[in-house]
Structure 1
Amino acid sequence: MNYISGPSKQQLDELVILSKQGNRKQAILRANILVNQFPNSYVLQHFIGSMHSQLNVYEDALIAYQKAIKLNPDYAPSHFNLAVALQALTRTNDAINSYQRAIELKRDFAQAHLNLAVLLEEKGERRRSIESYKKAIAIKPDYAQEFNNIGVELQKKGMYVEAIKCYEKATRLKPKFALAHYNMGDILMQINRNDDALYSYKKAIMLQPNYADRNSNLSIAFRNIKFSNPDREMQFFIKSLLDRKTTIVPSDISGAAISLLEYEPIILKLSKDKSSADISQNLKGVILELYKIPILIELLKSCPIHSLSLEKILKNIRSRILLSISKIKLSSEILIFQSALAIQCFNNEYIYDCSEIELNAIEVLVNLVNGKLNNGEQPSSQHILCLASYMSLYDYNFSKRIDCTPEIQEVFNQQIEDKEKEIALKKKIPVLEEITNKISSKVRNQYENNPYPRWITSAHKANPKTISDIVNSLKLNINNSSIIDVNHPKILVAGCGTGQHSISTALRFANSEVLAVDLSLSSLAYAKRKTQELGIANISYMQADILDLNKLDEKFDLIECAGVLHHMEDPMAGWKILKNCLKDSGLMKIALYSELARFDIIKMREEINKLSIEASDISMKLYRNKIINSDSDHHKLISISQDFYSMSALRDLLFHTQEHRFTIPQIKSSIRDLGLKFMGFEDHINVSNFQVNNTEVGDLYDLDKWNIYEEANPAAFISMYQFWCQNSAR
């Protein structure tokens, strides 16, 4: 029988389209059908091998490449791809032979020379390796891209040392190669070298600013970093990230930023005991010096400043502005600083206490402002900004009579317009059922008064991924794989607070439809406003108690419930209802307080109960001042927490109306009793630390081993246990 030599261009193009669409298995089926028609086509066998390689099915890839080579022994790309597959199967010597054969057939096959060099270097044959590198670079002098590509492949296979060497070679050849610096940052994060990763990310983003928007690791890299030297260039880098608004979580970067601020000469000077006198004698000069610090203004506007020394400085400046307001010579710099200070005080919910003298001065200033308004005049921007640093403008009796001028616009928008929007949105949020549980009602009242967390900007980037991609990236242990085929997941966020959680989930999962519920209408209105500001359309909000969610009569592919169950009267009752809302193969992410990690917090909550301290603003501020002035170790530890620096966070941390805590054995028992299966923790730092001593494949999913890890590291889960489980029902 005579066969046509090979498939048509149209037939081959159809295979390529299937491949580009990610339908590799379908492409293989289609190619095999064509093989029956064109059994002598080496092109088809080569294509089938490529598809198997992309699916990481290397044994099948070998068979296909060997068939292609038998049909056309002189086709160098088939020998090259065969070598890549052999390399993936750690058949190093066979891979070397195949690379060498590819080079014999195509002397200028630069990629084959380069891959051969990498293998020879791994074998310790340094002289031959250098020769191959030289040949590769001679053929293609600018070989940075290829080193980067090999680094990516090695990184996928977990060969981190070898991948780092490739990225180093790429950046030596091309120092301004942003992608290679970026990839270096990613791999350094994987091996827990966060400090080094940060500088690689910095190089990449300074070269290519848009890379900041694609990097979810950047916030993690900044966490827990404290700079030991002044670094103005790093300040400008941090400022550029804060300026972008949605690139990074400001609270993640603030610790690093504050450590840089503490090296500034003016801040060092003001941190001394006599700082009050320095501020009083030269208020304008102090403000102008602070204004010049690159990151200070933007940081003040982005999140609460968690530093007692900076808090003392800011409190003193706020007081001196108020008490000498008639003597201050105005300038644009001073008004910008005052605006940033007012925003900072609003962000921390006016956690700074004030003296009797200040209270009297505020009363005088309020009367002055009202007097001007009664006379048909507008008060000065300086007066308005000063008052806004002590109380939200919306809460003053003159708020509806002041005009929004350019100098006060940011403060006006935040403290008046946003509040009015939230009041209007509250009326439109649907209610599932009236909340009747006594504990749920108490918790709701807490968050009506103190919506938590109050956030300004966050790292909300639209880079959605499929469930399959996320499961693979987190290395979750799937029990029922049907969930990864869900292309339009229905997601429930149970306890969404002020919207950070619901927004990040909606942007994380591709083609998702999110229902976000919470007890507090104030929190939901805040969340709805931020969602609208960001233009996100796939979230619906509803007021509901978890205890009533069975009345939804809906099942969800994914349910996320972070930091909520431990505030319920009976956490297991709530967890059971959530499980009943989950589809048979559905996934659930839970976050719970750790009994071990909250040891110092437990001690302080007992202290608060013993002293019968109320959860009022005045009482909480008085107790906070006691902590600040205390020498007790557990008090000092609490003052380091970011939650110590805003009213809603402080209340959530120490004065919550209801709190349960868990241990890992309790979590294991609860998961079993609910008919769920533990899939793994979502916690980059703890997972990396855990794997240092737990190297077996199944260790990540062994809660007994995780319990041993936590007992050795009691503070490991201070930010809560955050883990995934799957409904094991079939």
Structure 2
Amino acid sequence: MTTDSATGTAGLPTGQSGPDHQAAAQRLAQVLELCRSGRPEEAEGPYRALCGSPPQEPAALLSLADAARILGRPADSVAWAEAAVRRQPDRAEGWSVLALAFIAAGRVDDGYAAAAEALRRTGQEETGGAAAVQAHRAQALARLRRGQLAEAAAACDTALRLADGAAQSAQPLRQAQAEALGTLALVRMLEGRAEEAEALFRRALSHRPVLPEILGNHASLLARLGHDEKALEQAEQAVALRPRLVGTLHLIGTLHHRSGQLESAIAVFHRVLAVDPGHLDARLLLADSLRVAGHWTEAVTVCRDGLALIADPDDRTRTALLANLGTALQSGGDAAGALEAYGAALRLTPDLPEVHNNLARLHQETGNPDDAIEDLRRAAAGRPLPLPLRRTLLSLLIAAGRTAEAETEAFGIARTAPDDAELCFGIAALFLQGGWRDQALPYVRKAIRLAPDMPRNWIAFVEALRDAGPPASGEGADQGLRTDLLAALGRPEVESAGLSRAIAGVLMASPVLKALAAPEEGPGDDGRTLDGKSLALLADGSLAGLAEDALLLAHLRAAPVCDPRLERALTRLRRVLMLALTGPGLPDRPSWRTLCAAIAEQCFLNEYVFAETDGEFQVLAVLVRAAEAALASGEQPPAVLVALLGAYRPLYRWERAEALQALSWPEEIARLLNRQVAEPLAEAAIQAELPELTPISHPVSVGVRAQYEENPYPRWMNTGLLPEPMPLSRFLHALFPHAALPAAPAWNAPDWEAPEVLVAGCGTGREAVWAASTLKNAKVLAVDLSRRSLAYATRQSRRLGLKTIEFAQADLLELGALGRRFDVIHSVGVLHHMEDPMAGLRVLRGMMSPHGVMEIGFYSAAARRPILAARQFIAERGHPPTLDGIRHVRRDILALPEGHPARAVIHSPDFYGTSACRDLLMHVHELHVTLHWLADALAALKLEFLGFRLADPAVAALYRKRFPEDPAMTSLARWDRLEAEHPMIFGGLYQAWVRARP
């Protein structure tokens, strides 16, 4: 052990006497008070004055050593303690303070030796006292720094035993006891004995609740246990008392980084490095936070400054900084610099999976996916790649279109852990990202079997089957898929409409439904008699058997049918049931009742878009009279009769609807009456309550309002609600990882943790519900022209228990008069129904907060070509936008030959509902735009394009493959070129996220 200081405080003056002594004592008291009250900045001046003329008494020097430790000057602390020991070498307290100073300065061996000297000076250990307790604690800390946990615990036990055996009235002893308890708690935490550590920390804090080190270490334990909010609160208490407590500051920064509050993390890590520039972990996390927040230049500087501090070129700590430097350069678009940094990191440490992963991504981004694949295979060097690199390799093979190799790699990955739901989901997600839905489906179904309660597995399941029939499979697999589809329809995070085509594909394997979908022969053409095939199906019980098909019933109740074959089958089934069940002695079997009620729910969902014959219309009149006669005579109409009526007309429009509600019904009829009577009547009441924020006088706005009062759109049942909302910053960073977006709170911007959201043109409320349920703490104002649409939206939001949405009637063009600003504005499918979309866009631009974002949607002129062909076809035939007119439109389009440009619209889900079909093909006013127009509009309004929200992940994969030089995918010129090559990639609608230019 050496007692000579190597710091600037070596050779301290011998002190002073008289008035100077009194002034020094006052300054020392001031320094200690400022340090211990958490005001070290104020203590700096008096402390520097003391350094020039320090006290000479050993006790004062030890106090000065304590102040230096609090001020984050460990070398000074050692020097003052050494000076005290030189003046009074027989005093045990001085050696204890010196031991702690050595350990704080990283001189563990010297600290252990000084602690041993302190114990020797105390004579017998049993004599106790604060000095002995602190000496044993110093030995415990030294053992702890060496990783000798058992020995550290034993030293703490000795210290505590001595403290318990001594008088408890002395304040230094109580503090020493609390510190020993805190050190033992730290040992137990590092041993993984969390419960014991928690109890010890609480005991320590009950002795001395304001010891910063103990507060900070307890915060670390809370963070390890996942109690991040409590950990952050306690850590901030600790640094309020001792602002330069580096370890606790680093914990605070880590917690902010972990929660996505990047700007807060950046500020804290800067504080860490201001105290300790060599703190590698803080430097690495600072660089990562800067990179993710889009501050790439600063991230590069932080890494390079850290590298300059490392003198040894072979120091392995350089590797982490070089890896982070490469990542920052890669994010900033400096491919050459990133390659150089990755190469240097791999020369120091060749086996670095994360660097190989980033290097492969870099090759891919620079248009060399094959080089990336080969780089990973070279990294393996004949050995199996680590799992993260195998996933990267799989992703690259998918992006390169190397299907066979990708499937082989995926199978190999899954074989390493056959019962790992996380792994199966990861493989499925990679296939979905590349647009390979068929390849993703087996893995996502396996993930569902292994983790059926994980919402993201079901969301991926919908994505794998969206708008497509199931793959060809054997009978066993088909039954399994039936089971999965039925389970999915009951999940709150599943948007049922996305499964409609897949369900239809499974259902149409039924011989009964195939027979019903086939052309009719012989009798039955007039709609008043049954043909032979229908009679046979009735006779053998096949139709009644459909009531036992749980998937069919669930689909009919949950989402509109979007398949022409299944629609034909159900249209015919409805007529067959009506004609078969309306004779004398109307049968009311449960199977007929169940089937008719489910068809009635489906017809209400699609707003009775199914075709009708004149014969059905005549029979319907007979049914209505029969039901009215029963009610007039005090009798209850047969349940199956009520179901048949609801299958042809909405029951709430019948003047006896409320009389039906007053009666007792079987479950399926009660459910039908709730949907067709109670809910519409509730919406009618809501309409009268809705506030009107602005007048509606513009002629086009008046016309659009009239359409949506007649035909609210869309009639949705669920929106795929997530179980937990996420902060706006995290949502945007996930959607646009390359965008330089702020994290909340940032740049003195409004707190994005509670964003104000405007949904301008909310329709029936699906987007408003999405915003309120997806964005954490969002407060939503949702406005629309149509009160009927708003009433539907209000009822649905109440059903879902959402209380943070305010619905109101307003014209978007007049919203500027509200004088409000919003952090998020959503207006999709609205602006193109205006006479001048730019006028509406200007209004919304004026309502953005300074750091707000906006999602806007416009019809794509290229993708709407089939719609234009259909609109021209409709105009030639003169069909009006009424229910009968829409039925005739659909009949005529379905009869067109394959290849006719107008027939392509049958692939749109909107073709399969009355209001939806009118919105799609017969809108009162709509415009289409190009990407050139969009680019000019954004430039004129000083809006920055962040990226598109894409319904199909395959489109993003296509762009990345076509333009690897633009990983952020923000070039509208390149998107225009891609759309020219693939006109349908946007599905008819551009959905662009933008923000005000910084």
**TM-score, normalization by structure 2:** 0.64
| Matches for 1:644-663 after TM superposition, within 5 Å | 644-663=911-930
Question: Which of 959, 981, 994 in structure 2 is aligned with 1:712?
Answer: 981
In the other structure, the counterpart of 2:733 is 472
- Between the aligned partners of 1:690 and 1:313, the Cα distance in structure 2 is 40
**Match for 1:323 among 568, 579, 583?**
579
Out of 335, 338, 344, the position equivalent to 2:593 is 335
Secondary structure, counterpart of 2:276 in structure 1: helix
2:964 corresponds to: 695
Of 426, 445, 453, 2:706 maps to: 445
Deviations 1:491-529 (A, max 9, x none): 111100111111112223222211110000110011111
> What is the match of residue 140 of structure 1?
none
Partner of 1:136: none
Mapped contact 2:651–2:657 kept (Cα < 8 A)? yes
Tell me what 2:172 maps to: none
| Cα gap change, 1:576 to 1:331, in 2 (>3 Å) | same
177-186 vs 688-697, which moves further: 688-697
Matching of residue 147 in structure 1 with residue 387 in structure 2: yes
Give the counterpart letter for 2:509 in structure 1. Answer: Y
Please report the RMSD computed on the Cα atoms of aligned residues, expressed in angstroms: 3.8
Partner of 1:379: 637
Q: 1:436 to 1:534 in 2, by over 3 A?
A: same
State how far apart, in whole Å, the 1-side matches of 2:578 and 2:559 are.
23
What is the one-letter code of the residue matched to 1:347?
L
Distance 1:397 1:302, change over 3 A: same
Please point out which of 497, 511, 519 is paired with 1:273. Answer: 519
Paired position in structure 2 for 1:609: 875
CA distance in 2, matches of 1:321, 1:469: 53
What are the residue-to-residue correspondences of 1:209-358 with 2, within 5 Å?
209-213=452-456, 216-230=459-473, 231-244=478-491, 246-274=492-520, 277-283=532-538, 285-326=541-582, 329-358=587-616
Matched position secondary structure for 2:581: coil
2: CA distance between counterparts of 1:398 and 1:169? 65
Shift in Å, 1:274: 4.3
Distance between the aligned counterparts of 1:701 and 1:589, measured in 2? 14
Q: Does residue 32 in structure 1 map to residue 273 in structure 2?
A: yes
Q: How does 1:470-549 map to 2 (within 5 A)?
A: 470-475=731-736, 481=742, 485=746, 486-487=751-752, 488-549=754-815
Report the equivalent of 1:15.
Answer: 250
CA distance in 2: counterparts of 1:628 and 1:159, whole angstroms: 37
Q: 1:699 touches 1:705 (CA, 8 Å); kept in 2?
A: no
Q: Which moved more, 1:1-10 or 1:86-95?
A: 86-95
CA deviations 1:111-162 (Å, max 9, x no partner) are 99x99xx9999564588553x87xxxxxxxxxxxx836x6678999999899
Structure with the bigger RCO (C-alpha within 8 Å, sep 6+) is 1
Mean CA deviation greater in 333-342 or 515-524: 333-342
Pair 1:189 & 2:432 matched: yes
The aligned runs of 1:563-602 (5 Å cut-off) are 563-602=829-868
Residues in 2 aligned to 1:256 and 1:535: alpha-carbon distance in whole angstroms: 30
Corresponding position of 2:65: none
| Cα contact 1:189–1:197 (8 A) shared by 2 | yes
Indicate yes or no: 2:414 matched with 1:177: no
CA distance in 2, matches of 1:476, 1:84: 19
Q: Deviations over 1:279-299 (max 9, x none)?
A: 233337232343344522111
Q: 8 Å contact 2:603–2:648 — kept in the other structure?
A: yes
Match runs of 1:67-78 below 5 Å? none
Task: State the distance in 2 between where 1:300 and 1:122 align.
Answer: 52
Aligned counterparts, 1:547-566, within 5 A: 547-566=813-832
Query: C-alpha offsets along residues 582-624 of structure 1, whole Å, 9 cap, x if unaligned?
Result: 2334322111112222222212323333443321212222232
Task: State the 1:411 CA deviation.
Answer: 0.7
Who is 2:675 aligned against?
A: 414
Report if aligned partners of 1:83, 1:98 keep a CA contact under 8 Å in 2: no
Query: CA separation in 2, counterparts of 1:167 and 1:626?
Result: 46
Q: CA deviation at 1:340?
A: 1.2
- Once residues 247 and 49 of structure 1 are traced to their aligned partners in structure 2, the CA distance between those partners, rounded to angstroms, is 37
Residue range with higher mean Cα deviation, 694-703 or 353-362: 694-703
- One-letter amino acid of the counterpart of residue 595, structure 2: F
Contact (CA 8 Å) 2:467, 2:500: kept in 1 or not?
no
User: How much has 1:468 moved relative to structure 2?
Assistant: 3.0
Task: Report deviation, 1:304.
Answer: 1.2
Q: Which amino acid aligns with 1:664?
A: L
2:996 alignment partner in structure 1: 727
Q: Work out whether 1:458 is the aligned partner of 2:719.
A: yes
Residue-by-residue CA offset, 1:233-258 (whole Å, 9 max, x unaligned) = 112111111111x2222221112222
* Change in 2 beyond 3 A, CA 1:380/1:98: farther
Amino acid at match of 2:537: N
Q: 1:480 to 1:534 in 2, by over 3 A?
A: closer
Q: In 1, distance between residues paired with 2:324 and 2:839? A: 51
Kindly, what percent of the aligned residue pairs are identical? 26
Q: Distance in 2 between matches of 1:593 and 1:83?
A: 46
> What code does the residue aligned with 1:590 have?
I
Point out the more displaced range, 259-268 or 564-573. Answer: 259-268
Equivalent residue number for residue 105 of structure 1: none
Change (3 A) 1:123 1:601: closer
User: How far apart are the structure 2 equivalents of 1:700 and 1:218?
Assistant: 26
Take 1:508 and 1:427, find their aligned partners in 2: how far apart are those partners? 29
Mapped partners of 1:594, 1:379: distance in 2: 51
Kept in 1, the 8 Å contact 2:391–2:427? The answer is: no
Instruction: Decide whether aligned partners of structure 1 residues 35 and 710 sit closer, same or farther in structure 2, where only a CA change above 3 A counts.
Output: closer
Q: Deviations over 1:32-60 (max 9, x none)?
A: 35538xx8xxxx54454455456655884
Work out the CA distance in 1 between the residues paired with 2:501 and 2:870.
24
Q: Could you tell me how far 1:30 is from its partner in structure 2?
A: 4.3
Shift of 1:321: 1.4
Larger-Rg structure:
2
Question: Among 907, 910, 920, which residue is 1:640 paired with?
Answer: 907
User: TM-score scaled by structure 1?
Assistant: 0.85
Q: Give the partner amino acid of 1:424.
A: A
Distance, in Å, in 2 between the alignment partners of 1:155 and 1:228 is 22
* Alpha-carbon distance, 1:452 to partner: 0.2
Q: 1:267 to 1:493 in 2, by over 3 A?
A: same
Pairing partner for 1:5 from 100, 103, 123: 103
Offset of residue 562 of structure 1? 0.7
In structure 2, do the counterparts of structure 1 residues 634 and 160 end up closer, same or farther at CA, with 3 Å as the change threshold? closer
1:676 aligns to 2:937 (yes or no): no
Q: Write out per-residue CA displacement over residues 287-344 of structure 1, whole angstroms, 9 at most, x where no aligned residue.
A: 2343344522111111111222211211111112111215675443332222211111
Aligned counterparts of 2:252 and 2:744: Cα–Cα separation in 1: 26
Report the AA paired with residue 558 of structure 2.
Answer: S
Q: Which range moved further: 639-648 or 259-268?
A: 259-268
On the 8 A contact 2:399/2:961 being kept in 1, the answer is no
Contact 2:438 2:471 survives alignment (8 Å): no
Conserved in 1, the CA contact under 8 Å of 2:398 and 2:431? no
* Counterpart contact for 1:223–1:252, Cα < 8 Å: yes
Instruction: Please say if residues 736 and 968 of structure 2, whose CA atoms lie closer than 8 Å, have aligned partners that are also in contact.
Output: no
Contact 1:235 1:294 in 2 (8 A): no
Shift of 1:669: 2.1
Distance 1:307 1:216, change over 3 A: closer
Equivalence for 2:932: 665
- CA distance in 2: counterparts of 1:79 and 1:713, whole angstroms: 47
